[in-house]
Structure 1
Amino acid sequence: MADRPTVLQHAAPSDAVSADAMLADAVLADARQVAARRAERAGIRIAALDDLADLERACRLLDEVWQTRPGDPSEMQPPLLRALRHSGSYVVGAWSGPDLVAASVGFFGAPSTSSLHSHITGVLTDRSGRGVGAAVKWHQRAWTLAAGARWVTWTFDPLIARNAHFNLHRLRATAVEYLTDFYGTMTDGRNAGQPSDRLLAHWDLRSPAVASAGRGTDPVHPGDPDPGSGTAPPRAVPVLVDEGGRPVARPATDAEVVSVAVPDDVEALRGADPATALRWRLAVRETVAPLLAAGWSVVGFRRPEGYLVARPPGGTRGRDR
């Protein structure tokens, strides 16, 4: 691939890292193969965006995906993308022939540049469902590993079921923090009028479960908190359910795993019934945020139950939310 990340330098004892370095090399080689296969399968070419005209095209694409209204601030600006790219950050586009069909932007962050934060990734609507978004994420994994980092983080709207399934099941990321109204007021056509709550996804790029998911060989059921075990999925006790399209909370439970429902299509719901969409936002916030703050973990997403959230080892039972 044409994109060449800046390699981060990490000091380490010379005698203690050989085995780990060999493992890292093997993981990187496999990640590059996975990324190449995914891009080929999607019929795209993924490359860094260096030309100013291409950066401008990427900004227009992201505005189209996010339905940015005339006069409102753009999702990204070409000068910022130019600066990010020049400083070694992740600024790429996905091309189908001469057409730019997706763009993604990320930058390095704490701890000690071992993590890339993927700020925004957008795919044109007419290309959705064709594996383009997945190909970009697997390219991002290979690129980040080549740069010497171990993790990728990003935020996603917890109410969008397809994104939750993609992030937590297909990519095998985990959700580690609930961020209340993270971006404040948003004016784009996809988010306007609703609090911008997000879940923070954490992707361990060297995880065996992630590697298996990339190769398409992961045999584990959706939502299994022990990837690779081959065991049946956990029985989750519902604490938030969908009853007639509305969220209904259930009493707290002693269960090890609970489920939290979300709407089938919250984006359509926001247009048809904003008040009910807001009820879902607040109900999911009031359910998930206290659980994560208490040390519970989002271990997966499974239809139709929704999020599967597991109690921490040795966690307090009963009404500990």
Structure 2
Amino acid sequence: MSPTGTVLRTVHDVAGLSAVADHFSDVWRTPRTAPPYPAEVLHSLVHAGGAVHAVYRERRLAGAAVAVLGPDRSTYSLVAAAERGLGPALKRAQRDWARTLGARTMRWTFDPLVGRNARFNLVKLGAVGTEYLIDFYGPMADGVNDGDESDRLTVTWDLTGTGTPYDVRPEGAVLRTAPDGGPLARRAGRSLWCRIPADAVALRAADPALALRWRHAVREVFLDAFAEGFRATGMSRDGWYTLARTEEAA
């Protein structure tokens, strides 16, 4: 169910896809003449069997998401961006579309330093961080990511269940120190916690060098943890990831 006063639909027409491209330009602070996802690309993805979902608030475009088919009953969400409170409706629409095609999972990536996105993906949706990608896109020239390395965390969302979101506070011994002098990582038994900056986007704009030190510090924790069989399962409100070790890695 969409929030009151909103309408959610799939977009197929050129005008609607152009509006979605403009929306993505505004979110990523690029000129509308150079959108991160041009309308013609979106049109090709739809023609190839993908889906563009858009949510409208009082007839105004307020969010959009793009998904494509993947192998072995999987789907991939290329991009999603919506105004506050509308993200869950968009993801449910993507889930419903994918399930009608017989898909069992959906994957996408996000910047692991952006805590609000981590909470949405891991806590609200119950997705699991399954892969850490170093500088995935290479240098990015948009107004949000410019000047940073584009590390991304892949999450996998089980479309057949309700998910198992975790939101556990950190405990255990401090393993590493963060660039601000506070604890970066803690570990207790089969659980590990990693802290990220309170607002990575603002930090990147104010002090790019410090933001990059955070990037490298968090990267090191995640790479070591994933090599041991840990997966990201939660994010606390004060910026701590929970990473749990899978049974297969016992």
Q: TM-score, normalised by structure 1?
A: 0.71
Structure 2 equivalent of residue 216 of structure 1 = none
SS at match of 2:201: helix
**What pairs up with 1:159-170 in 2 under 5 angstroms?**
159-170=113-124
* Displacement after TM superposition at 1:95 (Å): 1.1
Amino acid paired to 2:123: H
SS at match of 2:147: coil
Spell out structure 1 runs of 4+ moving beyond 4 A.
233-238, 240-243, 246-250
- Work out whether 1:54 is the aligned partner of 2:16: yes
- Work out whether 1:204 is the aligned partner of 2:165: no
**Superposition CA RMSD, Å:** 2.4
The Cα offsets for residues 179-233 of structure 1, whole Å up to 9 and x where unpaired, read as 00001110001000000000001000112336xxxxxxxxx7624xxxxxxxxx7
* Displacement after TM superposition at 1:240 (Å): 4.6
Structure 1 equivalent of residue 167 of structure 2 = 222
C-alpha distance in 2 between matches for 1:193 and 1:85: 32
Structure 2 equivalent of residue 260 of structure 1 = 194
**What pairs up with 1:224-239 in 2 under 5 angstroms?**
235=171, 237-239=173-175
C-alpha distance in 1 between matches for 2:238 and 2:174: 11
CA distance 1:236–1:95, shift in 2 (3 Å): farther
CA distance 1:267–1:157, shift in 2 (3 Å): same
Amino acid paired to 1:95: Y
C-alpha distance in 2 between matches for 1:221 and 1:201: 14
Structure 2 equivalent of residue 78 of structure 1 = 39
* Displacement after TM superposition at 1:155 (Å): 0.3
Task: Give unpaired runs (5+ residues) of structure 2.
Answer: none
Larger Rg: 1
Structure 2 equivalent of residue 148 of structure 1 = 102
* Displacement after TM superposition at 1:238 (Å): 4.3
Is the contact made by 2:127 and 2:163 (CA closer than 8 Å) also made in structure 1?
no
CA distance 1:300–1:239, shift in 2 (3 Å): farther
C-alpha distance in 2 between matches for 1:286 and 1:91: 35
Which has the higher mean CA deviation after the structures are superposed, 188-197 or 89-98? 89-98
- Work out whether 1:157 is the aligned partner of 2:111: yes
Task: Give unpaired runs (5+ residues) of structure 1.
Answer: 1-35, 211-219, 224-232, 317-321
Match of 1:283 among 192, 213, 217: 217
Is the contact made by 1:102 and 1:132 (CA closer than 8 Å) also made in structure 2?
yes
C-alpha distance in 2 between matches for 1:133 and 1:78: 21
* Displacement after TM superposition at 1:144 (Å): 1.1
The Cα offsets for residues 245-281 of structure 1, whole Å up to 9 and x where unpaired, read as 456556x856321110001111111111111111110
C-alpha distance in 1 between matches for 2:14 and 2:248: 54
The Cα offsets for residues 36-69 of structure 1, whole Å up to 9 and x where unpaired, read as 2xx134x321111111011111101101100014
- Work out whether 1:295 is the aligned partner of 2:229: yes
CA distance 1:176–1:247, shift in 2 (3 Å): farther
Is the contact made by 2:232 and 2:243 (CA closer than 8 Å) also made in structure 1?
yes
CA distance 1:54–1:310, shift in 2 (3 Å): same
C-alpha distance in 2 between matches for 1:143 and 1:166: 20
**What pairs up with 1:106-185 in 2 under 5 angstroms?**
106-110=67-71, 112=72, 114-123=73-82, 128-129=83-84, 131-185=85-139
Amino acid paired to 1:164: A
CA distance 1:272–1:153, shift in 2 (3 Å): same
CA distance 1:249–1:235, shift in 2 (3 Å): closer
Is the contact made by 1:240 and 1:261 (CA closer than 8 Å) also made in structure 2?
no
CA distance 1:58–1:254, shift in 2 (3 Å): closer
C-alpha distance in 2 between matches for 1:264 and 1:150: 34
Q: TM-score, normalised by structure 2?
A: 0.90
Amino acid paired to 1:297: R
Structure 2 equivalent of residue 64 of structure 1 = 26
* Displacement after TM superposition at 1:134 (Å): 1.6
Percent of pairs identical after alignment?
35
SS at match of 2:157: strand
SS at match of 1:165: helix
Amino acid paired to 1:46: L
C-alpha distance in 2 between matches for 1:56 and 1:70: 10
Amino acid paired to 1:52: V
C-alpha distance in 2 between matches for 1:262 and 1:201: 17
